[in-house]
Amino acid sequence: MKSDKDIELFIKNYVEDALGDFSELTWAYVVLSKSNMSLNFYVTNYPDEWVMFYKEKRLYFTDPVVITARTRLTPFEWDKSLIINSGYHYTGLFDQAEEFDLIKGNTFVVHDFNNNLATLTFITSRGSKPEIVNKLTQKRGDISLLLASIHETYLALAYPPTENINKVDKKTIFTKRENEVLYWYSMGKTYQETSIILGIKLRTVKFHMSNIVKKMGVTNARHAVRFGIEHGLIKPEI
% of the chain exceeding 70 in pLDDT: 87
Weakest-pLDDT range from 26-35, 41-50, 182-191: 182-191
Coil, strand or helix at 117:
strand
4-158 shares its CATH topology with 165-230 = no
- Tell me which residue of 238, 224, 110, 69 sits closest to 160, measured CA to CA: 224
Alpha carbon distances (Å) from 202 to 14, 107, 174, 205, 207 = 22, 35, 19, 5, 9
CA distance 4 to 153: 14
Residue 6's pLDDT band, with cuts at 50, 70 and 90, is: confident
Asked if 123 contacts 24 with a C-beta cutoff of 8 angstroms, the reply is no
Q: What is the pLDDT of residue 87?
A: 57
E strand segments, the chain: 26-33, 39-44, 76-78, 105-111, 116-123
Asked if pLDDT for residue 164 goes beyond 50, the answer is no
Weakest-pLDDT range from 14-18, 20-24, 170-174: 170-174
**165-230 is classed in which CATH architecture?**
Orthogonal Bundle (1.10)
Asked if pLDDT for residue 161 goes beyond 60, the answer is no
Asked if pLDDT for residue 90 goes beyond 70, the answer is no
Whole-prediction pTM: 0.66
**4-158 is classed in which CATH architecture?**
2-Layer Sandwich (3.30)
Q: What is the pLDDT of residue 136?
A: 86
- Tell me which residue of 118, 101, 98 sits closest to 109, measured CA to CA: 118
Asked if 8 contacts 16 with a C-beta cutoff of 8 angstroms, the reply is no
Domain ranges of the chain: 4-158, 165-230
